[in-house]
Amino acid sequence: MSKPSDLVQGTLDLLLLKILALEPLHGWAISQRLKQVSGEVLQVSDGSLYPALHKLEQEGWIASEWKMSENNRRAKFYSLTRLGRRQLDKESANWDRLSSAISHVIRLKEA
Amino acid sequence: MALEQWLYKLPLRLRSLFRRRQVEGELNEEFQYHLARQIDVLIAQGLSPTQARETAMRAMGGMEQQQEKCREARGMSWIEDLVQDVRYALRTFRKSPALASVIVASLALGIGANTAIFSVIDAVMLKMLPVRDPQQLVLLKWSAPRYPQEFVSDIEGSGGHDRGGLFFSQSFSSDVYKAIKQQNQVFDSTLAFAGNDEDVNIEVNGQAESARHQAVSGDFFNGLGVRPFLGRTLLPSDDTDSAPPAIMVSYAFWQKHFGSSRDLHGQTLAMNGESVTIVGVAPAEFFGIRPGDDMDLYIPLSLYLRQWNRLSPQESLLASKTWWLGIIGRLKPGISLEQAQTQLQVILNRALDVNAKNPKDLVVPRLDLLPASKGLNALRKKFSTSLFLLMGMVGLVLFIACANVAGLLMARASGRRKEIAVRLGLGASRSRIIRQLLAESVLLGIIGGFAGLLVSLWASSALVRLLSTGRSPIDLSVHPDFRVLGFTAATSILSGIVFGLIPALTATRVSVVPALKESGTQTLAAAGRFRLGKSLVAGQVALSLLLLVAAGLLLRSLEHLQRANLGFDQHALLNFEVRPGLNGYKNDALANYYEELQRRVQSLSGVRNVAFAQMGPIAQGESSGSVTIPGYTAAGQQVDVYRQIVGPNYFQTMDIPIVLGRPTTQEDGPTTPKTIVVNETLVRTDFHGDNPIGKSLVRGSKDHQQSFEIVGVAKDVKYGSIRGDVPPTIYLPYRQWIFLPSQMRFFVRTDGDASAIAASIQRLCLALDKNVPVVDMQTEEDVISQSLLLERTFALLSSAFAALALLLACVGLYGTFAYTVSQRTSEIGVRMALGAKRESILSMILRETLLLVIIGIVVGLPIAWAATRFLKAQLFGLSAHDPLTIASSGLAILAITLLAGYLPARRASRVNPMVALRCE
């Protein structure tokens, strides 16, 4: 439960990039958004979100900025960078290829 | 892409490295914000504030761990760990300062010795000539199966037989130089310099002294790309017969005589009585073309020729068979050494007109190009073997020091087993603990390295001073450059890893539970674990033995050299040189000067005999030539003989017995028949033992022959060096030689203390002619001892290194046994309680020490046996497997190490059984 092991390896990165592509968000909001959009199917513990975000920031795919949040407290907002946009495109394409290949295999009729 | 990524990455990494506190604060704030929001939500869902906090914390999944993962994600945690490790290591050192200082001192000595030897190697072997693109420079050299007498009659400069028996030289004739300069298409510039560089008498600012000078072609400095410090360089226009005499001086010479003056205008000095103008000063870093052999004056070849003709008009340097010029070329870009060699050989053959000669038995010099980027290799050749051998020795010393430190650290690491077990039990990874232990040892290595650098600064200048006492000072600048610093840094860090890795690996191979259960002092199991430490000690003993044997062999060689029979009596013999020829004395006036001085010195009280000769028998030069012996040498064949030009009374003064016939005397003058004395070796090799008296030797070419009648046979005397075998030697009366030497070395046999009479001789010479200085007054024993300088330094250094190695090995032995004894206190207590006597405990521990040392010796002996063959060329009068040396080294190491082992053994025997058992 504490590790995103039930997510396909590397998909957390893709999800985070995609969520941030829509709008800059802070960590808590990202966790809410994750639960919301995946309909609670994808379980990501609140804690393991942050190492992932920090890793993406170190890669230069997302950037962070301290801003006032909707409840008027200082919060760290993450946004997608140009590099991150490119990475998102690449990973989405990969994902499409992979998922369509897997669906293809799964739909094979048993003899 | 990669670049753009780094634009994002770099500021972040730097920030997490240098603004650590801020980054940490932000990390915390980010998590706190999340918690606060989550708690709000949960309270809104109806939980109590306490419940809400607990739930939110749980959802985080361990806030500390997640934050640690964030830190790891930043990728800088290893540096933070490192800082932590270093802090921790420093704290450990402070807790056991004695151990830390022993370790640092061992390393400082080991690394310092290595750096010192390396910096001398760096200065002699690795430094490039301070000129433009030195890697393009090549030096011309030729070799032939034998002396090519068809083309060469005299060689000025280096020449001789190499190990393969080939005759080689780096000198060429004027004609060959001209041909190569004009016809080659492989060099951008072709530069020449005189192969010989005799001293000149100079008078500068009213002071008479002697200076070293190098004659060079006019384009020499421009070709090398050397810019003057002051004024201008020599130019081709200076190197013509009609040019006014112009010279360049070295920076050091300028500083010495003209201080910091930057005004060159019209500065002159007198060189061998001729007034010359200083047109430029060479830059400070330009040391000439031979590293370590600095020149004072640089003069054009034309000036050199003019002075040569004035002083020895009998022999022209321009003769086609006189080879006297060294040649340096700057290769054109894209030309390989082979291409250049091929083309130059063609030019050489054409210049020598090889095709016109009878090809039968013709020996043609074969050209060779040597890279000259590091200058000419005289000094390098002289020192390189010794330096590399020394480097090997100090390498071993450092190795021993590392083994030593590893042993000490290992002993301590076993004492820290519990601490390590606790940390492993608390979840530290093994690699993390190894990293921490390594940080400790590398830190020790670095501290040792810094201390070693200080040691080396002192040691390398001491080494250069040691090597440069004597007649030819070696001016090496051994400043640590980036190569030396890099070497030290690499050595320190590497040795830190080497001596740290083994203890770190063994210390962390701990099974947690048993280690924690062990009581404070340990049992026999600990001693078993320490076997590695003991083998390290045995290894140190083995390597120390090797160094000890090497040092012993070198010391005994030196002793043999010092006691070698030279063939003359070197005791109570004073010698000095005068050069009246440079002051204008000629012919009879010159001879009169020599004989008058001889008479006057003879009349001094305390003087038994006086004689003079062109040079001393040992270490004051050599000269040789080819002669034919009618009735003994085949037609067209010649033999090499070494010559000594001597004045009257020479044999009597030097105590050289005449075994047959008579010595040469004053009667053998310019008008009487030419006579010589030969040595026994010449009789043995060239006369096959026949009585040579009355037979003759013939010197010179067909149209210019001189025949000398043999009137006496002298006992063999060493020639040039103590080491070499006595060559066939001839002694010629000085008035019958083709020219009268412009300088002579006087030998004064005194009754008592030779040096006491030196002042009276000085006064006599000044009274005879105050303008002729006495040069180089010293006792013959000093001359000989200086000629052994290299051998003595080498023996001294290797002894010092061997002593250092032995000391380190003893420290290692002591440390190891002191440690095992302390670990076995309770065992010893039990033994004593059961009735063991103190003596039996003492002998038990000593037996173990002895066993270890003997294992070390048994391992070391074959290594020493195999390794000493590298010393073969350095030895004199004994074999590389000299049994006496090997045996005494073994015994010495046994005695000294047992002494080191006795202290812990005695402590073991003093254990109080009650105390020992109670500390369980």
Count CB-CB contacts under 10 A for residue B733: 26
Give B97's pLDDT tier (boundaries 50, 70, 90): confident
Phi, psi of B746 (to 5 degrees): -95, 145
Q: Which residue of B has its CA nearest to A30?
A: B34
Would the CB atoms of B75 and A60 count as touching at under 8 Å?
A: no
Whether pLDDT at B525 is above 50: no
- What pLDDT shows up at residue B128? 66
Nearest-by-Cβ selection for A83 from B5, B36, B72: B5
Chain B residues with CB under 8 Å of A63 CB are: 8
User: What one-character DSSP code corresponds to residue B133?
Assistant: S
CA pair distance B170, B365, nearest whole angstrom: 11
Chain A residues with CB under 8 Å of B63 CB are: 47
Burial of A65 (0-12, 13-18, 19+ CB in 10 A): exposed
Would the CB atoms of B9 and A71 count as touching at under 8 Å?
A: no
Phi, psi of B695 (to 5 degrees): -80, 170
- What pLDDT shows up at residue B592? 93
Q: Which residue has the higher pLDDT, B712 or B462?
A: B712
Alpha-carbon distance values, B814 to B106, B414, B495, B712, B840 (Å): 14, 17, 22, 67, 20
B502 is written with which tokens?
A: 């083994």
Q: Does A43 touch chain B (CB under 8 A)?
A: no
Per DSSP, the three-state class of B320 is coil
Q: Does A11 touch chain B (CB under 8 A)?
A: no
pLDDT digits (tens, 9 = 90+) for B367-401: 988 887 766 655 566 677 788 888 899 889 988 88
Closest by CA position to B27, among listed B99, B97, B77: B77
Q: Which residue of A has its CA nearest to B11?
A: A58
Whether pLDDT at B884 is above 60: yes
- What pLDDT shows up at residue A3? 41
Long-range Cβ contacts of B466-472 (<8 Å, 24+ apart): B466/B793, B466/B796, B467/B383, B467/B789, B467/B790, B467/B793, B469/B786, B469/B789, B470/B786, B470/B789, B471/B776, B471/B786, B472/B293
- What pLDDT shows up at residue B104? 87
H or E element: which one contains B351?
helix B337-351
Q: Which residue has the higher pLDDT, B419 or B716?
A: B716
- What pLDDT shows up at residue B345? 93
Give B299's pLDDT tier (boundaries 50, 70, 90): very high
Whether pLDDT at B458 is above 80: yes
pLDDT digits (tens, 9 = 90+) for A56-90: 888 888 988 898 888 888 899 999 998 899 989 99
Longest dimension (CA), chain B: 137
pLDDT digits (tens, 9 = 90+) for B202-252: 888 877 777 888 899 999 999 888 888 888 999 999 999 888 999 999 988
- What pLDDT shows up at residue B199? 77
Alpha-carbon distance values, B50 to B42, B46, B54, B55 (Å): 10, 12, 6, 9
Would the CB atoms of A51 and B61 count as touching at under 8 Å?
A: no
CA pair distance B411, B583, nearest whole angstrom: 74
- What pLDDT shows up at residue B693? 92
Per DSSP, the three-state class of B829 is helix
The complex's ipTM?
A: 0.86
- What pLDDT shows up at residue B422? 81
Q: Does A36 touch chain B (CB under 8 A)?
A: no
Amino acid at A52: A
Mean pLDDT computed over B704-728: 88
Does residue B575 contact residue B746 with C-beta atoms inside 8 Å? yes
- What pLDDT shows up at residue B568? 92
Alpha-carbon distance values, B478 to A109, B371, B483, B568, B841 (Å): 83, 23, 12, 39, 54
Mean pLDDT computed over B170-197: 90
pLDDT digits (tens, 9 = 90+) for B787-806: 887 788 888 888 989 998 99
Q: Which of B178-187, B483-492, B721-730 has the highest mean pLDDT?
A: B178-187
CA pair distance B261, B599, nearest whole angstrom: 46
Q: Does A85 touch chain B (CB under 8 A)?
A: no
Chain A residues with CB under 8 Å of B70 CB are: 50-51, 54
Whether pLDDT at B653 is above 90: yes
Mean pLDDT computed over B602-627: 85
- What pLDDT shows up at residue B684? 92
pLDDT digits (tens, 9 = 90+) for B22-53: 888 888 888 889 888 889 888 998 889 899 88
pLDDT digits (tens, 9 = 90+) for B836-880: 888 888 888 888 889 989 999 999 999 998 988 888 888 888 888
Q: Does A60 touch chain B (CB under 8 A)?
A: yes
Q: Which residue of A has its CA nearest to B29?
A: A75
Amino acid at B766: L
Helices assigned H by DSSP within B509-586: 512-517, 524-529, 531-562
B805 is written with which tokens?
A: 């190695």
Does residue B190 contact residue B300 with C-beta atoms inside 8 Å? no
Nearest-by-Cβ selection for B34 from A46, A55, A83: A46
- Write the CB contacts of B353 (distance below 8 Å, at least 6 apart in sequence): none
Which residues on adjacent β-strands are paired with residue B771?
none
Whether pLDDT at B289 is above 50: yes
- What pLDDT shows up at residue A1? 37
Whether pLDDT at B740 is above 70: yes
Chain A residues with CB under 8 Å of B69 CB are: 48, 50-51
- Write the CB contacts of B560 (distance below 8 Å, at least 6 apart in sequence): B876, B877, B878
User: What one-character DSSP code corresponds to residue B62?
Assistant: -
Chain B residues with CB under 8 Å of A40 CB are: none
pLDDT digits (tens, 9 = 90+) for B559-580: 998 888 899 998 889 999 998 8
Q: Does A31 touch chain B (CB under 8 A)?
A: yes
- What pLDDT shows up at residue B745? 94
Q: Which residue of B has its CA nearest to A29?
A: B34
Average pLDDT, chain B: 83
- What pLDDT shows up at residue B84? 79
Mean pLDDT computed over B14-25: 77
Count CB-CB contacts under 10 A for residue B538: 23
Nearest-by-Cβ selection for B8 from A69, A74, A83: A83
CA pair distance B775, B575, nearest whole angstrom: 10
Closest by CA position to B649, among listed B662, B633, B631, B630: B662
Chain B residues with CB under 8 Å of A60 CB are: 4-9
Whether pLDDT at B10 is above 80: no
B301 is written with which tokens?
A: 């070849």
Mean pLDDT computed over B153-169: 76
- Write the CB contacts of B541 (distance below 8 Å, at least 6 apart in sequence): B809, B813, B852, B853, B855, B856, B857, B860, B893, B897
Burial of B485 (0-12, 13-18, 19+ CB in 10 A): middle
Phi, psi of A20 (to 5 degrees): -75, -20
Amino acid at A27: G
Q: Does A97 touch chain B (CB under 8 A)?
A: no
Q: How far is C-alpha B688 from the chain's CA centre? A: 43
Nearest-by-Cβ selection for A50 from B5, B12, B30: B30
User: What one-character DSSP code corresponds to residue B244?
Assistant: P
What proportion of chain B, given as a percentage, has pLDDT over 90?
22
Angle at CA of residue B325, ends B322 and B329, nearest 5°: 140
Closest by CA position to B786, among listed B575, B521, B633: B575
Average pLDDT, chain A: 82
| Chain B positions touching chain A (beta carbons under 8 Å) | 1, 4-9, 12-13, 26, 29-31, 33-34, 36-38, 40, 56, 59-63, 65-67, 69-70, 72-75
pTM of this prediction?
0.69
Alpha-carbon distance values, B293 to A83, B489, B636 (Å): 62, 30, 40
Whether pLDDT at B496 is above 50: yes
Would the CB atoms of B33 and A73 count as touching at under 8 Å?
A: yes
Would the CB atoms of A27 and B33 count as touching at under 8 Å?
A: yes
Q: Which residue of A has its CA nearest to B73?
A: A55
B223 is written with which tokens?
A: 């070709």
Would the CB atoms of B4 and A1 count as touching at under 8 Å?
A: no
Q: Which of A28, A67, A87 to mutate to test the interface with B (most CBs of B within 10 A)?
A: A28
Does residue B623 contact residue B672 with C-beta atoms inside 8 Å? no
Long-range Cβ contacts of B232-240 (<8 Å, 24+ apart): B232/B279, B232/B280, B233/B280, B233/B282, B234/B279, B234/B280, B234/B298, B234/B299, B234/B300, B238/B279, B238/B300, B238/B302, B238/B303, B239/B300, B239/B301, B239/B302, B240/B302
pLDDT digits (tens, 9 = 90+) for B903-917: 888 888 887 777 766
Whether pLDDT at B680 is above 90: yes
Residue-by-residue DSSP string for B77-122: HHHHHHHHHHHHHHHHHHHSHHHHHHHHHHHHHHHHHHHHHHHHHI
Alpha-carbon distance values, B298 to B10, B24, B114 (Å): 56, 68, 36
Closest by CA position to B768, among listed B580, B614, B612: B580
CA pair distance B366, B283, nearest whole angstrom: 36
Would the CB atoms of A46 and B59 count as touching at under 8 Å?
A: yes
H or E element: which one contains B194?
strand B187-194
Inter-chain Cβ pairs, chain A and chain B, closer than 8 A = 84
CA pair distance B684, B686, nearest whole angstrom: 6
Nearest-by-Cβ selection for B73 from A45, A51, A69: A51
Which residues on adjacent β-strands are paired with residue B749?
B573, B609
B471 is written with which tokens?
A: 């007649």
- What pLDDT shows up at residue B524? 43
Would the CB atoms of B59 and A47 count as touching at under 8 Å?
A: yes
Which residues on adjacent β-strands are paired with residue B731?
B644, B677
Would the CB atoms of A28 and B7 count as touching at under 8 Å?
A: no
Give B678's pLDDT tier (boundaries 50, 70, 90): very high
Closest by CA position to B919, among listed B817, B837, B833, B825: B825
Would the CB atoms of B60 and A46 count as touching at under 8 Å?
A: yes
Phi, psi of B124 (to 5 degrees): -85, -40
